[in-house]
Amino acid sequence: MNLSWTDTWNDLLARASSLVGLDPGVLWPALAILLIVLAWAPARRWGRTLVTIVHEAGHAAVGLMVGRRFLGFVVSRDLSGHAVTAGKSTGPGRVATSWAGYPAPAVLGAVVVLLALNGWASAVLLLGLVLLAVLLVMSRSVRTVLLVLLVAVLTGALWWWGGQWRDGVVAGIGLALLVGAWDSLRDVAASRDPQQDHRTLAHLTRVPAGLWLASWFLVDALATGVVVLALRDLL
């Protein structure tokens, strides 16, 4: 089959810009994915891979916005992660960068759900592929490269072959990110690791670590509330 560059480009644009309006049919695949993540431990654990990548991307994105340099990131064997940015060791930029990781999965999850419910799943996936390509270049271990590649392949497959299931699956991924955001907040609150972000923030600002945890809780709660209201409108 011969396709011109024009035909290919038009097909890509059609996939990336499909807008169908709020669709109740999207709800059921999304809820099915949510139930699988909640009920099946392996799915929840592998979902943590995506949560970690988004967490570290949150550090990197905010770091870049405040003038820091993103040097790379790694995902460890236990699926925790670490992003490295360069810049001033103190000040508002360092504080914003350190704070941004934990709320990132909840914020992105809510945005993904809302966009998917309104028919923008293809655009979400295409943008995700672009961002994953950047993260692949910035990966600093073999494990990290393989995990980012795996997520990119699955994202590309869903974008190209998702068909009528695409919006629902993407909305489900957004819900899984929200679940992962709450899981990671629970884990960090229980951790005694002095290198955790809330303790780093307490050291940088003299604001108690518990208040930083509370700020993440509020963001997660707000993101969850927005999604619940959107889903309620479809029921």
Taking only the tens place, the pLDDT of each residue in 116-144 is 998 899 999 999 999 999 999 999 999 99
The pLDDT of residue 13 = 46
159 φψ region: left (φ > 0), alpha (ψ -120 to 50), beta (else) = alpha
Sequence length of the chain is 235
Listed in sequence order, the residues at least 6 apart from 65 whose beta carbon sits closer than 8 Å to its beta carbon are: 96
Q: How many CB atoms lie within 10 A of CB 206?
A: 7
Distance CA 41, CA 53 (A): 19
**By percentage, how much of the chain surpasses pLDDT 70?**
89
Distance CA 48, CA 53 (A): 9
Confidence band of 4 (pLDDT split at 50, 70, 90): low
| Cβ proximity of 70 and 134 under 8 Å | no
Quick check: 233 pLDDT over 50? Answer: yes
Taking only the tens place, the pLDDT of each residue in 46-98 is 899 999 999 999 999 999 999 999 999 999 988 889 998 999 999 999 999 99
What are the structure tokens assigned to 230, written together? 């959107």
The pLDDT of residue 7 = 64
Alpha helices in 102-208 (DSSP H): 104-117, 121-137, 142-161, 166-190, 197-205
Listed in sequence order, the residues at least 6 apart from 172 whose beta carbon sits closer than 8 Å to its beta carbon are: 29, 30, 31, 32, 33, 34
| Cβ proximity of 96 and 58 under 8 Å | no
Under DSSP, the state recorded for 79 is: S
Confidence band of 234 (pLDDT split at 50, 70, 90): confident
Residue 221 is inside which H or E element, if any? Answer: helix 209-232
